A and B are shown apart, each in its own frame.
Chain A
Amino acid sequence: MVPMRRSHSISLNRVSEVIHKFEVIQLPSPPPFLIGAINLRGQIVSVFDLSKAFSGKATEYKSLATCLVIIHINQTKFAIIVDRASGVTHFGDNQCEKIDENLCKKYQEVVTHLHKHGKDIVLKFNTDKLLDFLGYQNAA
């Protein structure tokens, strides 16, 4: 059995934009999941790799489809690297379920619900917990 690619969703009101051409500047002695930083129209934005944070496997960002999703929480902007940005999807309440608490607690801090999208399952990020999970204060 081949594991399916994992899809995540993030609330649109936390998304600033999506960019696909970028140049990441690597930082000295960064945390494992911090790839580096980009210059987004004069503003330095940190780029995180949640795949590295969750599974320890770094995301390949050399392909054409690799994108950066710029997220803003309060006045903080950061970017997460994704393999592909599928699009904007509306999920109803009946499509949302809470994840079992007995699952990975570390993962559960930032992924509390999932959406059923046809046959697929989309994991929903809890963006409010995401900054804490990433230790953003320290990283910033």
Chain B
Amino acid sequence: MRKKTMTISSRVIILSTCAMSTIMAFGGFSLVKMKDLASLTEKLYQHPYKVGVSLRDFESQVLEMNKNYYDLRRLTGNHSPAVAQQKIESINAYHQKNSESLKIVETNFLGNKEKLYEVKESYVNWHKKISQISQFYVLNNIASATSLGELENSAAKHLDDLYTKSMYLKEFADTKASTFYSNAKSTAHYILLGSALFLGLGFVFLGTISFILIRSLNQRLRSVAEQLAFNTKSVADEAADITISSSGLSSTVSQQASSLHETAASVDELTAMVKNNVRQAEQSKNLAESMKTISTQIGDEMGELTASMKEIVESNEKIEELVTVIDKIGEKTRVIDEIAFQTKILSLNASVEAERAGEHGRGFSVVAQEVSNLAQMSGQASKEISEIVKSSVNVARDISSKNEKKVRYGESLVTKTAKAIAQITQNLVDIFQSSDHILTASRDQSDGIMQVNQAMSELNDVTQQNSNLAEQSALAAKNLQRQVLQLRKITSDIASLLGTTSSENSFDERIQPPEELENRFSESRQKKVVPLKTKPSLSRNRVLADTDLNIEDDTPDEDGWKAI
């Protein structure tokens, strides 16, 4: 199962979110507290401060009024009216200011308003008194010392009362200011403390998050760097293999080119052989046709021979008939032989009777003897005839038998020969057809060989293209080696940045310098493919040359990182 990991953007977003959250929390907290502090300051400014300031202004103005009053009093008797009027105007101006100050105090005072009204009342009363007194002094119309004294006592009383009650207001304002100040100070303290706490916690939190994220990121980067180094080694190995393969491919292409030349020569020979086959097949066809005519003639002659054989058989039958006749002659000779034998027996018996007759039968005995001799000769001649007949019959039968055998043998030979001739005729027909087929097939072969020749030419084109491709592949391998060297340098930089060490020594051993590759491929370039009668087509080479080294990989690697 694939391990899910965070991307850098996710980590940066998380870190930024944490930082922003910390800042926002800190800002929110500070904002709230600053708002409270501002509110407190506003309150402090609006209420105790303005009230205090106004009260102090009020008091100082009252003191100025009182000072002017006393100046006016002191100037009684020897003063110019203008100066007195000036003092009175000054007092009135301060009174005007005091009215404004009291308005401010009345507006912003948070305490008991009755006290304020009492102060106001005391002031108003004091102001009335001093106004009256001032009028006396201005007019220099001192009605009586008693009433002036009462007025001054009353004014002094109202002034004391004013100070006393104003003191309460000041104390209240100061107390309120002190309270607001302490609250503001506390708030500021909270703000400071909270800020410090938030800053500290924020630093700790952000540091922890950063440590975790950067640590994992560092691990991932280290892993990536190691993987990159490993892959760089693999790429170096592959590049070396590609180099070897390119070399082998180049030599193979050269061998293929030479094999193609040999094959082309063989195809030429094959073409000549096929043409010869076509010529021979045509001759075979003509021969088969003439042989077919001859075999037909032989078949006709064999028919005549068969008729002759039948005549021989018929003559043999006649010989058999002759043998039968001779047999009959033989039977007749047996009859003669039997007659001769019987004659002999008769002569024998006659001899017996003559002997029995004694002397009288002596002549008869001689006759009987002669008859016996004649019978003997006749029997002998009959026997010889019989033997001759027998011999003739045997010879005739032997001849007949031999003739019959020969006829049978001849018939079988004729039959076999007829069958053989029929078979030969059929075979000749087959040979004729086969020759025709061979002729057609040879022509097709000739066409096919022409196509093979054309294909060989195209194959040679392809071989030449392959040779060019092999050279380009070698150059690409060289470029790949250079890029692997650059990649190794980058990997080393990344490893040094991550504080790890890469196995450069073993890595360097795997990478061959491009110059060595150049030397290795120069040999294969010398084995340049000699083109056949071909037209060079460089379209594929150009396409490959244009697309050379443009490698894109949209598939994410094992760490979930995607190439950008």
Chain A residues engaging chain B, CB cutoff 8 angstroms: 12-13, 15-20, 64-65, 67, 85, 87-88
Contacts and interface: CB of A to CB of B under 8 A. Distances in A.
Interface stretch (B70-78, B315-323, B346-354): B346-354
B367 to A, nearest CB: 13
Contacts of A19: 345
Given A88-B348, A88-B369, A20 B355 contact: no
Interface string B360-389: 000001001100100010000000000000
B356 A88 contact: no
Given A18-B348, A18-B349, A88 B355 contact: yes
B160 to A, nearest CB: 216
16 contacts: A12-B351, A13-B356, A16-B352, A17-B349, A18-B345, A20-B345, A64-B341, A65-B341, A67-B345, A85-B344, A85-B348, A87-B344, A87-B376, A88-B351, A88-B352, A88-B369
A19 B342 CA distance: 9
A87 B348 contact: yes
Interface in B414-471: none
Interface in B324-354: 337-338, 341-342, 344-345, 348-349, 351-352
Interface of B: 337-338, 341-342, 344-345, 348-349, 351-352, 355-356, 365, 368-369, 372, 376
A67 B346 CA distance: 12
A32 to B, nearest CB: 28
A64 B355 contact: no
Nearest to B342: A20
A85 B355 CA distance: 16
B341 A15 contact: no
Given A20-B341, A64-B341, A87 B349 contact: no
B345 A15 contact: no
Contacts of A13: 355-356
Give the 4 A-B residue pairs with the shortest CB-CB distance, closest first. Answer: A88-B351, A12-B355, A17-B349, A18-B348
Contacts of B355: 12-13, 88
A61 to B, nearest CB: 15
Nearest to B346: A18
Contacts of A17: 349, 352
B352 A18 contact: yes
B386 to A, nearest CB: 11
Contacts of A64: 337-338, 341
Contacts of B348: 18, 85, 87-88
Contacts of B365: 88
